Structure 1
Amino acid sequence: MTSWWSSIAAAAVLAGALPAQAQDKAGGDKKEVPAPSEVTPQIVTTRHQGSFGGQRVRYSATIGETIIKGEDGTPKAAIVTTAYVKEPRDPSRPVFFLFNGGPGSGSVWLQMGAFGPKRVAIPSDGRDDGAPPYPLLDNPDSLLDVTDLVFIDPPGTGFSHLIGKTEPKEFYGVTADAKAVAEVIRRWLGDNGRWASPKYLGGESYGTTRSAAVVNELEASTFNDVGLNGIILISTVLDFAAGSDAQGNELSFITNLPSMAATALFHGKASSTSTEQFVAEARQFALGPYAAALLKGQNLPAEERAAIRSQLARFTGLSEAYVERADLRVTPDRFYKELLRDRGLTVGRLDSRYTGRDYDSAGERPDNDPSFYGIDAGYTAAINQWSRGALGFKSDREYQSISGIGKDWDWRIGGRDENAYLNVTPYIGKALRENSGLRVFVGQGYYDFATPFFAAEYALSRTGIPQDRISWSYYNAGHMMYVRDDDRRKLSADVRAFIRAR
């Protein structure tokens, strides 16, 4: 995952987002102005109805700002939440707090693609979303029949922003961000009389990293503990070493291989009776012979090397000659470019079902990610139309679908050793051990290279993590599996069942 943040940053540039400190008044904080002593938050409530999960539901939609203050009472940040609550209100109903990832991504993706009451219509089969219009449709797959929903845009994402002279370092970091989100959750529970409600927390991509860090803030507090019923992890990244493409790290080649196998099979570069079967074979090869070969390094015997090369070519769909030139170690970037080079196509990073056409077929990495530019315009249009229109939110700021705040992100979570091996999975293990009622749902797409499913399996199978309360679901799409209609329906059904099973 070397290019994990660099690719997101590139996507942010392509999406027209600007770093928080370089935005104009539409996007954020270019002009440093003194923070006012008081800020009046904008809060707008509208009422709607729709059919979700086969039930007719009347609900309120409240989009509003929560003002975070410093110890001296100075306003520091305005964090926007969008809450959908079934009417009449029922404190015994579950409430589900959600956010996306990045870091720097607004909640537009989960809100307008998966679980919100409206969704944007884009192609389901891996084609580019093209030019507008992008219709807003009723979303029968929303979870409003089983839980109230609160979508959170952390500082620097969506319409949320820093106030006055607030320094980015006060919010832009693994722990600082988690503290702010945890405060928003506590305040929402208090303001809405929901402390006794069953509570779920979930995110996508870096949002799963945030989930682990927020759980640590919510459940590790002796004096203000917030017990959770469930954590929903979608497209999971917890152990960053497992996905790092840094030279000398062999683990990334192991955890990416099953995703390469699924992709090769999808594009007709490999053969098997089913995706599940081929992926299962790739897992076993990756954990066994391939891992052993990589660990031997330059001491790998020639005969063993030949056998590994043959199997690696079979699973990746690449030629043995190419695999040999790569020293049995094919990075994701090279795979995207090489797999369909004979067709003049590249495959996507977020969703390798998508294909793109580069300026030319030379080189060893794609010009861009076709699975990002294939969906971004539709989602950006949808969140602006819905928030500024039917929900009535007024702002001269641009909605930051993906901003550039990641360049200033503080990834430190502890001392030297912790940061040499950035891994937030132990936060989830501790929460599971100390809360006997907590369960975890993990949803992964087979065609996701941003957060490979095998890396998630690896992270969550380590010592100290109770396995009997973790459930897994897999989807025939990529990072945002809900862009595929069948998988959106399946994801909705799976999460609905997870919540009902409490």
Structure 2
Amino acid sequence: MNRKLLLCGAALGLWMSATATLPAVPALAAEHAAQDAPQDDDGKSSLAPFDFTPRQKISDGIVTVRGQKIAYQAVAGTLIVHPRDWDDAAPEKKGKPGDQPVAAMFYVAYFKKNVAPAARPITFIYNGGPGSATVWLHMGAFGPRRIVTADDTHTPAAPYKLVDNDDSLLDVTDLVFIDAPGTGFGRIGGKDKEKSFYGTDPDAWAFTDFIAQFLGRYHRYNAPKYLFGESYGTTRSAIVANMLKQDKEIDLNGVMLLSQILDYDNNIDRAEANPSVDQPYILALPSYAATAWYHRKLPHQPTDLKAFLHEVEHFALTDYAGALQDGTAITDQRLNEIAARLHDYTGLPVDYIKRANLRVNGGEFEKTLMADEDTDTGRLDSRFSGASIDPLSQHPFYDPMDSAMGSAYLSAFNDYARDVLHYGGDSPTGAYEEYKASAHSIGKWSFTHEQPGVPHSNRGLPNVLPDLAMAMKENPMLKVQLNQGYFDLGTPYFEGVYEMRHLPIPRKLAGNIEIHQYMSGHMVYAHAPALKELHDNAADFIRRTDNLPH
């Protein structure tokens, strides 16, 4: 899985910066020198070791959202988390300090000024990856400043433009953007550090621990609380919502999901590796149809996309599903009929569809739809397209959307962090601080997950539907909002709809779920009109569920 997203800007007014020291935790600095640090002539590292103690920088700003002028305090810093079996009363049992797994997780929080803590909702926001920083949601969606990028084409090189973010969620909630362990200005250290943090369950625990610490440190336990995760962040949110309830006795007001994947068996990227499971092809078909519609590759171009997609959804769940279930028993006549319908809905050649046995995975579709132009479509946002590196390959070599936006986001945030948040240029150890957009942990990631109430249920691919269902059953007031882009081939929108319909919850709790779709891709906010809709839907969701007087 991937992650992704944009920037936010705002007229911040006069900024004032101050440095504050957080209460100390056991210092592990000396034992955790960077393994790949540059060496001096004498063989010693020229960089000081990373300082595993909490840090924070405080600054002030002003942003106007929907005509409302909001004065806020920004806090950029780190909190220290440990694996789930960590005993803070007896850390010496874990061996020497340098052996103890530890993560300094970087965050940026925005607090509206002059509001009592219990009278202000707080939302914890993160991207996915797994192993991605949250620069994308921070700078592209909900932070006070936003980066401007081209809508469906490559953004020109620097200089990039930061603008006031009229779509920041600061009008309704305080915001905490959390970078995953090993990303941002945070780092991991100690023995078995990757095993301790690079996995579905260890990662979820790190975020759970972080959130509980944050609520205590900033006196927000009695505030309305929300999670907002994107992509793999939705997988994380399902587990964290349940962990907060089970391990910390923390009830959430709401969980907002963007570009959902909760059951990895529904993943269309490598569906052929799981023969006899045809569901990914069924659930991806409407997104194929939306992509072909956008690029005008359909033999008969509909004018009403939503009506067209409803038709495709019905076909996918009925005739197409039945044909796939027939397997090799399908008749020649039926095979030809279904292939012709798939051609009408996807624009792919009939012969290609038949040679694929009616089953085209995500990479094959991205490669084949515009093959006549030697062009591949994007995966995370199929509105984007790019030149094929190898026109004869089965899959694209890169994602045109990633290539189109990545430089803008990272360049803008690196300057914003240092010039506005005043973080990243003066480490207490004297070391240069690199902002890492990714931990590059996907190849090391353990996707095994133990479902709640089912010991020894570890699976190679996670299915966290039971986790979210458990959180909803134990907190029947918990509300869930799902947001999706039509042009997302990484987490197809109909997959999310299907998963929400198949949560193992009582039917009466199904009314706690609402679903919104947008004319955009995985990073819904990359399309400016969709960002406005996303803001309005999320803000309305919070106002309806925060239990505060309005």
The TM-score, its normalising length taken from structure 2, stands at: 0.83
Give the residue type in structure 2 aligned to 1:452. Answer: P
Corresponding residue for residue 7 of structure 2: none
Q: Which residue of 1 aligns with 2:290?
A: 262
* Kept in 1: contact 2:183–2:435 (CA 8 A): yes
Partner of 1:480: 523
In 2, Cα distance between equivalents of 1:449 and 1:416? 32
Within 2, Cα distance between the matches of 1:108 and 1:211? 18
Do residues 284 (structure 1) and 314 (structure 2) align? yes
Q: Residues 234-273 of structure 1 correspond to what in structure 2 (within 5 A)?
A: 234-243=258-267, 244-245=270-271, 246-248=273-275, 249-270=277-298, 271-273=301-303
2:153 paired residue number:
127
Which residue number in structure 1 is paired with residue 256 of structure 2? Answer: 232
Q: Percent identity?
A: 38
| Deviation string, structure 1 residues 356-399 (Cα, Å, up to 9, x no partner) | 00235322221211011011000111211111210011252321
Measure, in 1, the Cα distance between the counterparts of 2:389 and 2:49. 47
Whole-angstrom CA distance in 2 between matches of 1:369 and 1:461: 30
Tell me how far apart the structure 2 counterparts of residues 176 and 418 of structure 1 sit (CA, whole Å). 13
Larger radius of gyration: 2
The corresponding residue for 1:14 is: none
Please state how far the C-alpha of 1:306 moved relative to its aligned partner: 1.4
Q: For 1:453, give the aligned amino acid.
A: Y
Query: Deviation of residue 35 (structure 1)?
Result: 9.2
CA distance in 1, matches of 2:201, 2:503: 23
Q: Pick one of 463, 473, 476 that aligns with 1:433.
A: 473
Return the offset for 1:200.
Answer: 0.4
The CA deviation at 1:164 is 4.2
Shift of 1:41: 2.3
Aligned partners of 2:303, 2:155: CA distance in 1, in Å?
Answer: 31
Find the partner of 1:105 among 108, 132, 135: 132
Structure 1 counterpart of 2:294, which letter? F
| Cα distance in 2 between the residues matched to 1:460 and 1:199 | 22
Equivalent residues of 2:53, 2:104 under 8 A apart: no
Alignment correspondent of 1:413: 449
For 1:139 and 1:354, locate their aligned partners in 2 and report how far apart those are by CA, in whole Å: 24
How far residue 68 of structure 1 moved from its aligned partner, in angstroms, is 2.2
Match of 2:532 in 1: 489
Judging changes above 3 Å, is the alpha-carbon distance between structure 1 residues 474 and 463 closer, same or farther for their aligned structure 2 residues? closer
Structure 1: 5+ residue stretches without partners: 10-19
Match for residue 123 of structure 2 among 96, 111, 126: 96
Distance 1:178 1:492 in 2: 26
Q: Secondary structure at the match of 2:169?
A: coil
1:146-225 alignment, distance < 5 Å: 146-165=172-191, 167-221=193-247, 224-225=248-249
- What is the rounded CA distance, in whole Å, between the counterparts of 1:438 and 1:398 in structure 2? 38
Render the CA deviation track for 1:302-322: whole Å, top value 9, x for unaligned.
221111111111111111111
Q: 1-side partners of 2:168 and 2:199: how far apart?
A: 31
- Where does 1:438-477 land on structure 2 (aligned, <5 Å)? 438-465=478-505, 466-477=509-520
After superposing the two structures, state which structure 1 stretch, 395-404 or 308-317, moved more: 395-404
Q: CA deviation at 1:420?
A: 5.3
Shift of 1:422: 2.4
Q: 1:25 to 1:121 in 2, by over 3 A?
A: farther
Task: Work out whether 1:372 is the aligned partner of 2:402.
Answer: yes
Q: Do residues 43 (structure 1) and 56 (structure 2) align? A: yes
Distance 1:35 1:379, change over 3 A: closer
Q: Kindly provide the amino acid, as one letter, of the partner of residue 429 in structure 1.
A: A
Report how many residues are paired: 478
Name which of 320, 330, 334 aligns with 2:364.
334
- Contact 1:134 1:382 (8 Å CA) reproduced: yes
Partner of 1:355: 385
Contact 1:264 1:316 in 2 (8 A): yes
Contact 2:447–2:461, Cα closer than 8 Å, also in 1:
no
| 1:416 CA drift (Å) | 6.3
Change (3 A) 1:174 1:421: closer
Partner secondary structure for residue 401 of structure 2: helix
Alignment partner, residue 423 of structure 2:
393
CA distance in 1 between partners of 2:296 and 2:52 (Å): 58
Instruction: Tell me the CA shift for residue 22 of structure 1.
Output: 9.3
Q: Which moved more, 1:130-139 or 1:244-253?
A: 244-253
Q: What are the superposed Cα offsets for residues 315-349 of structure 1, whole Å, 9 maximum, x if unpaired? A: 11111111111111111111111111112211000
Distance 1:269 1:358 in 2: 18
What is the distance in 2 between the residues matched to 1:158 and 1:242?
30
Gaps of 5+ in 2: 5-31, 39-44, 92-96, 546-550
The residue number in structure 2 matching 1:13 is none
Residue 411 of structure 1: CA displacement? Answer: 1.2
Task: Indicate the SS of the match to 1:184.
Answer: helix
- The 3 A distance-change label for structure 1 pair 218 and 482 is same
Q: Deviations over 1:166-198 (max 9, x none)?
A: 521111111111111111111111111111100
CA distance in 2, matches of 1:252, 1:258: 11
Q: CA 1:40–1:337 in structure 2 vs 1: closer, same or farther (change >3 Å)?
A: closer
* 8 Å contact kept, 1:35–1:164: no
In structure 1, the residue matched to 2:113 is 87
Residue number in structure 1 paired with 2:27: none
How does the TM-score come out when normalised to structure 1? 0.91
Deviates more, 1:144-153 or 1:459-468: 459-468
Distance 2:159 2:252 in 1: 40
Q: Counterparts of 1:410 and 1:499 in 2: how far apart (Å)?
A: 34
Aligned partners of 2:53 and 2:348: how far apart in 1?
A: 59
Quick one: distance in 1 between partners of 2:475 and 2:279?
31
Amino acid of the structure 2 residue aligned with 1:228: L
Which residue of the partner structure matches residue 164 of structure 2? Answer: 138
- Compute the displacement of 1:158 (Å): 1.3
Structure 1 residue 111: Cα displacement: 0.4
Alpha-carbon deviations, 1:392-416, whole Å to 9, x = none?
Answer: 1125232121231121112111266
* 1:34/1:164 contact within 8 Å kept: no
- Contact 2:76–2:106 (CA under 8 A) maintained in structure 1: yes
Deviation, 1:484, is 0.8
Task: Look up the SS of the partner of 1:254 in the other structure.
Answer: helix
**AA matched with 1:397:** E
CA distance change for structure 1 residues 452 and 357 in 2, over 3 Å: closer, same or farther? same
Contact kept, 8 Å, 2:33 with 2:49, in 1: the verdict is no
2-structure distance, mates of 1:139, 1:85: 16
In 2: Cα distance, 1:180 partner to 1:34 partner: 25
1:317 partnered with 2:341: no
Structure 1 residue 21: Cα displacement: 12
Aligned residue for 2:515, secondary structure, equals strand
1:298 aligned to which of 328, 349, 362:
328
| Whole-angstrom distance in 2 between the partners of 1:114 and 1:280 | 28
Q: Which one of the candidate residues 460, 463, 475 is aligned to 1:423?
A: 463
